[in-house]
Amino acid sequence: MPPLSGRRVTALRIRVEHALRPWRRANPMARRLVLLGSVITLGFAFLAAFPSLVAPYGEAQYRHVVGTNEDPAAAEGRCGDEFECEDIPRRLSPDTGFPFGTTSGRLDVLSRVVWGSRVAFSIVVLSTVLAMGIGVPLGLISGYRGGKLDRVLVTLMDAIYVIPGLLLAIIIAFVLKAYFAPGLLSAAAAVGVVYIPQYYRVIRNHTLSVKQEPFVEAARSLGAKPNTIIGRYVLFNVVQSVPVIFTLNAADAVLTLAGLGFLGYGVPYPQAEWGLDVSRAISDVVSGFWWTAFWPGLAIMLLVTGLTLVGEGLNDIINPLLRVRGFRGRVPRRLEPAPAADTPVEVNLSPAPTQENP
């Protein structure tokens, strides 16, 4: 690569400046909330990526080698021969060795919470891949082709969209359970189906408007096949809405997964899933042990708050239509009809389609 010339650097800087402009113009409160959300989300992402750095014990570890936190199952040799083993105490209230306490199944709650973030992130990613993988192509084809296919798909997606997310996820999990062993994949499928209509709708509507652009007409008049037009010209113009939908859906997906897990249709025990852990703690609550239910639930709440702050904040900031700078109270007349920066989030709003880079 040639060394960067002065001109190039300037050009680059202008681009970066341009990309950052919405962020600079956003009101300081909105920026602070997005930053807070990012810190929370990245914190959980770190836990999900490196759980063993933070968690003192393994996901389903109920005993340890005396003197260390090591799981005897993973260690060389057998308990009683090469080393002494000790069970993790049951229902220990939070104290020095176990900051979040232990469960009736001899599991360390802190470790469960940390490992649970891995399950949460895996499911969010997998379910998004599924929802995008089905919703985006269907939306492209439906929007570009139009006609009967479009009408059928719109009706179908609306029908799916009407069913409450959790209920739909339960039904899918229920049906999948008859064919597959429950696990990460089937839980992700159950959660993912809920979000297909949202990707489909946004992509379809966006495709409808991009279809009218002159460059699509130009491509068509040059004899490009529909597949080429969709794949090369339409796709890259509509795909920019996807990250926005993702950030908005991710928070909801975590809650849906937790609800599934709570009802017992998520990933199977002993995998660490927060909703499942809360449901297993119900009997503890009756006898007054608060810590087994408290921490996993708090983790859900924190992660969902973080994701919501990032998603809605970014949506407000990126979306130029919704941007009004820090006004207090009333807005001068000439700024109408731009609504306030915190207008309800409309998923299908996105910047005007951009032409291919010149």
Partner 1 sequence: MPGDPISAALGDRLSAEQIEVRRQAAGLNDPILVQYGRYLGGVVQGDLGTPATDPRNVRQIVFDLVPATFELTMFAMVVAVVIGILVGAIGARYRDGPFDVGGRIFGIVIYAAPVFWLGILAQLLFANRWGLLPSGNRISARIVFEDPTGFYLLDGIITGNWALWSGALKHLLLPGMTLGLVISGVFIRMVRVNMLQTLRADYVEAAQARGVANRRVVFAHAFKNALVPVVTIMGLQFALLLGGAILTETTFSWPGLGQALVEFINRRDYAAVQGIVTFFAIMIVIVSLLIDIINGLLDPRVRY
Beta carbons of 249 and 128 less than 8 angstroms apart: yes
**Smallest gap from residue 318 Cβ to partner 1 (A):** 18
The alpha-helical segments, DSSP class H, found in the chain are: 6-25, 28-49, 51-54, 109-145, 147-162, 165-177, 184-211, 214-221, 226-228, 235-238, 242-263, 274-280, 282-286, 291-318
297 lies in the binding site for partner 1 (CB under 8 A)? yes
**Cα(36)–Cα(43) distance, rounded to whole angstroms?**
11
Point out which span in 9-17, 80-88, 118-126, 301-309 binds partner 1 (CB under 8 A).
301-309
Q: Rounded to an integer, what is the distance from CA 285 to the centroid of its chain?
A: 30
What 3-state DSSP class applies to 79?
Answer: strand
Contacts of 58 (CB under 8 A, 6+ apart): 52, 71, 74, 111, 115
The interface mask with partner 1, positions 28-47, x = CB under 8 A, is -x------------------
Instruction: Single out the residue of 1, 53, 74, 178 in contact with partner 1 (rule: CB under 8 A).
Output: 178
Instruction: Single out the residue of 301, 320, 348, 349 in contact with partner 1 (rule: CB under 8 A).
Output: 301
Point out which span in 83-91, 172-180, 183-191, 210-218 binds partner 1 (CB under 8 A).
172-180
**Cα(245)–Cα(16) distance, rounded to whole angstroms?**
23
6 lies in the binding site for partner 1 (CB under 8 A)? no
Cis amide linkage into residue 268, ω under 30° from 0 = no
**Smallest gap from residue 321 Cβ to partner 1 (A):** 14
Contacts of 159 (CB under 8 A, 6+ apart): none
Instruction: Single out the residue of 67, 80, 214, 329 in contact with partner 1 (rule: CB under 8 A).
Output: 329
> How many residues sit in the footprint of partner 1 (CB under 8 A)?
52
Point out which span in 51-59, 86-94, 145-153, 165-173 binds partner 1 (CB under 8 A).
165-173
For partner 1, which is the closer residue by CB, 62 or 291?
A: 291
DSSP 210: H
For partner 1, which is the closer residue by CB, 65 or 300?
A: 300
CA-derived radius of gyration, the chain? 25
User: Binding residues for partner 1, per CB under 8 A?
Assistant: 29, 162-167, 170-171, 174-175, 178-179, 251, 255, 258-259, 262-265, 275, 278-279, 281-282, 285-286, 288, 290, 293-294, 296-298, 300-302, 304-305, 308-309, 328-331, 336, 339-340, 342-344
